[in-house]
Structure formats: C-alpha cells, structure tokens
Structure 1
Amino acid sequence: MPSIPLQRTFAVSSLVYAATLWGLVWYPYRLLDQAGVGGIASSLFSYATPLLLLGWLHGRALHAARGHWLWLSALGLAAGWTNLAYVLAVLEGEVVRVLLLFYLSPLWTVLFARFLLHEKLNRAGWAVMALAAGGALAMLWQSGDWPLPRNYAEWLGLSAGVMFAASNVISRHLDGVTEGAKAVSIWAGVAVLTVIGLTLKPAELDFMAGAETATWLLLLGVGLAIGSMTYAVQYGLARVPANQAIVIFLFELVVAAVAAYFLSDERMGVQEWVGAAMIITASLFSGHMEDDRKGELRV
C-alpha cells in the first residue's frame, strides 16, 4: 500500500496529467471542426466512446453508489455542461477571452468548497490563489478590455468555469463513491446534454454520411484521451482539496499557450511568459493552501 506522501504525489501528478491533456485537446477539436464535425457532435462521440467502451466495467460500483444518485446526477450535469460549453466556446469565440472567463473558476471554487466541503484557505492559500489568478490575468488580459461576457461564446465560457468549479467540488463531496462511478456519471452527463443539443441542431450529424476514416479515428483517439483524463481527474480530486486542485488545473493555460506556439500561428510574448511562470510557481506551492487535516487522503 503506497504511503500517504506517495499517494499525494500520484494524486497531484494525475491532475497535472489531466490539465496537460486539456491544454492540448483544443487542437484535435479544431481539426474535427475543420473536417465538418461540429462541437456538439464531436463532444457526443468523444464522450460516448469511453462510456460505451469502459462504462460497463463500473456496473457494480454504480449499483453500490445508488444511494448517491442525486449527487451523481448533479455531477454528471455539471461536468456535462462544463465540457460541452467549453468546446463550443473555444470553437465559436475568441479563445483568449473565453479562457479568461473560464479561469475565473478558482473564485467559484473557493465559494463552493467553503459551503459544501467546509474547506478554508490559510494565509498561504490565499497568497497562492492570488498568484495563480494573477498569472491567468497576466497571460490573458487585453489592454482596455474587462473580463465580462460580451457575446454568446463568452457567456458559455463563463458558465463552463462556474460548472467546472461545481463539478470538482461535487466530486470531492462524493467521498466513498469510486472514481469509476463518478467517471461514468460524467461521460453520461455529457452524452445526455449533447443528445439534447443535437435535437436542436440535427444538421451537425450530416458529417456521418461522408466522414473519412481519419475523422473517425480522430474521434476515437479523442474519446480514449477523454476517458483517461476523466479517470485522472477523479483520482486526483478524491485525494486533493478542491482549492488546491483548481490551482493545479490552471497549468492548462501554460500548456495551451505553448501548444498554440507550436501548432498554430499564435506566439507567446513577455506578458504570457510572466503569467506562465506565476502559474507554475503557484502550482508548486499549492500543497500549502490549507492547514494539515487528518484523513485528507484515503488510504
């Protein structure tokens, strides 16, 4: 059985892994959009893939967690909206402003975690949170603009950030429910919301008539990546306080900026590098955000 420090290392590493994938996933979604697969349709197939391939493995865990069905449903819907709204926002809006609004999520996490989990930040925790938020602003702030939604895509980005914080806190609240059961709830939540979305925009399924093999393989690959990412997030959230986790997730901004440098025409300036350094520093010190508590990690 791993020691508690080793469990903590595994948990934090799993969250960094998930943040890294999220910082890269915009690119295959953009490729799918260019291939004619809209955001709702690509979300459906990429989340239905792990649901169908892996969901059956957690049948017993879901049955054992039946007493938590209300919270699992809330987790699925919150995470479902997070993922669907995020994909639509980055495809339809200005990525910089969407990310800025999405990464107001640490503020919502502090509120949700305070009331639902009774997690309190210490002085170092507030400093780390301020450093992380400052890094996000340094990377994404545009002179003369305020981080307020001004169109449909930006409202999606803001709402995705709120639901991202809510889903992380709800997952942490579901102590005793296995990571597999939570993962299935998330995949199912996205699937339900995307099916509803496709009833409103059925034309997004037209790509199926002439989709090439490469498109289907890309959808499969994204689905498998989503599956591994969901497992990693749920493993980490079960063992790391929600306020610490949200700071670690900010590492996604750094990955996304570096990926944009190599995969598109976007380039990082001094402002972006300063923000990235602030976020990395905050992530390194995120383990000191709360006073030590017994039972923080499950053995």
Structure 2
Amino acid sequence: MTRASIENLAMLSVALSGLAWGLFWIPLRALDEAGIAGVWAVVLFYVLPTLLLVPILFLRRRQIMAGGPTLHFAGMLAGVALVGYAGALVFTEVVRALLFYYLTPIWSTLLARIVLGEAITRRRWGTIALGLFGLLLILKVDAGFSGGLNAGDWMGLIGGLVWAMAAVCMKSDETGSGADFTLSYFVWGSVAALLLAALPIEGSQAAPDWETIGDVLPWIVPVVLVLVIPPAFAIMWGQPC
C-alpha cells in the first residue's frame, strides 16, 4: 500500500471515528435514564471497555510496558481528553459540548506548528477562522458574552485542547503502535473517569448499585463493542499517520 493510500485511509478512519464520537451522547443519556446518572455514566463508558480489553492488554503487556514515556503520556492525555468530552455531553447541552470539543483542529494546527514545525496551509487558516467564529457564536459575543460557561462547557473546551496535545504527542512517536496507544488510552481514561467521579461537581449523582449496572449490561456491552472500541482503535491508528 502506497503512502498516499495509507494517509487517505487514515483520514477516513479519523473522520468516521469523529462521527461515532458525535453519537456518544445517545448511550450516555440512555444510561442516565436507566439510573446511572451524571459522571458515573462516563465511568462505566470507560471502565467497561477496559475490562473487555483485558485479554488484549495481557497479550501486549510487554509492548505496552516497553512503549516508553511517549506512549503512556499520549495515552494519559487522550484519556483525559475523551473523558472531558464525555463529561461535557453529560453536564451541558449536546450542541455546546460538540462545538466546544470540536474546536480541536484549531489547537492541533497551532501545536503541530509549534512542536513539529508543520506549515499552516490556507485551508487550515480557514478552519481556524471558522472555529473561532463558531466559538464567538457560542459565547454570544453579540450579547456581551452573556452566555457564560458552565462545568460541561469547560470540560468540552479543555478536552479538545488536551486531545490536540495527545494527537501531536502520538504523531511525534514514529515507532508507536495504534493498538498500544488505544489500550493505554482506555486504561488512563478509566483512571481519569474515576478521578472525575471523585470531584465535587454540581449535578453529580451517587454511585449506582450493582443491580442497576447489571440491568444495563445487555445493551451497553454491544454499544461498547461497536461504538466505543473500534472507533478508538481507528483514530489512534489514523491520527499519527
């Protein structure tokens, strides 16, 4: 496969993963309705796939341990970023969460220029301009920024910035494996989700009981196997290309 074909496939993988992540709010809201409310829906959304991936984690334990600081730092950043995004979907309006998080191209373009020395093309400048214009609309600049930012808005905004850092970190590691980045991401994402659950965030709920968790497993496991794990593998492979 030629380099151009690999890059086209990588771009397609990233685009499809972004589309899948745009649907995350549906199972998160369904978990909320089923009694797993607030940040605990985010915790389940990360801990469950990590548990399902334990066999692969075991098989690749040596590669993961030998991945060096870049692998684990990128996985930690990616985990924090996507937990922030999921938290934004829980704690603010879906549209606001999506718009704040998907300002990521602005941050990734600027960081790639600063860290990797990549040129900023006219198309990317246009993307940055559109992103900033969208940000101003969200903040209701025409009304004197009266919209304000809530906790979910900040999660989305910070999550997008941290994801840009993770993307640059992954791209700088030419020897990194997409599979190992993904496994590291789920482990660190689980840690980040549990830490988020420990924060005194307004609107957080008590931890669900085991019976409630058992009731949602028959449908959340297939969702995780289709909507969560494959897109993560796809974007962790495609992002560095």
Normalization by structure 2: what TM-score?
0.82
Q: Is the CA contact (8 Å cut-off) linking 1:96 and 1:140 kept in structure 2?
A: no
Cα distance in 2 for partners of 1:147, 1:162 equals: 23
**In the alignment, residue 96 of structure 2 is paired with which amino acid?**
R
Q: Deviations over 1:118-160 (max 9, x none)?
A: 21213343235435x2785698675636498532222222111
- Give me the identity figure in percent: 25
Cα distance in 1 for partners of 2:218, 2:146 equals: 37
- 1:176–1:47 distance in 2 versus 1, CA, 3 Å: same
Secondary structure of 1:205 counterpart? coil
* 1:205 and 2:214 matched: no
Shift of 1:221: 2.6
* 1:217 and 2:183 matched: no
In structure 1, the partner of 2:93 is 94
Count of equivalent residues: 236
Secondary structure of 2:22 counterpart? helix
Cα distance in 2 for partners of 1:170, 1:148 equals: 33
Instruction: Identify unmatched segments of 5+ residues in structure 2.
Output: none
**In the alignment, residue 110 of structure 2 is paired with which amino acid?**
L
Shift of 1:12: 1.5
Q: Deviations over 1:251-299 (max 9, x none)?
A: xxxxxxxxxxxxxxxxxxxxxxxxxxxxxxxxxxxxxxxxxxxxxxxxx
- 1:107–1:69 distance in 2 versus 1, CA, 3 Å: same
Cα distance in 2 for partners of 1:221, 1:20 equals: 18
* 1:235 and 2:234 matched: no
Q: Is the CA contact (8 Å cut-off) linking 1:14 and 1:236 kept in structure 2?
A: yes
**In the alignment, residue 217 of structure 2 is paired with which amino acid?**
W
Shift of 1:206: 2.1
Cα distance in 2 for partners of 1:112, 1:59 equals: 34
Cα distance in 2 for partners of 1:197, 1:122 equals: 37
CA RMSD of aligned residues (A): 3.0
Shift of 1:162: 1.0
In structure 2, the partner of 1:284 is none
Cα distance in 2 for partners of 1:149, 1:55 equals: 41
Normalization by structure 1: what TM-score?
0.68
- 1:137–1:25 distance in 2 versus 1, CA, 3 Å: same
In structure 2, the partner of 1:287 is none
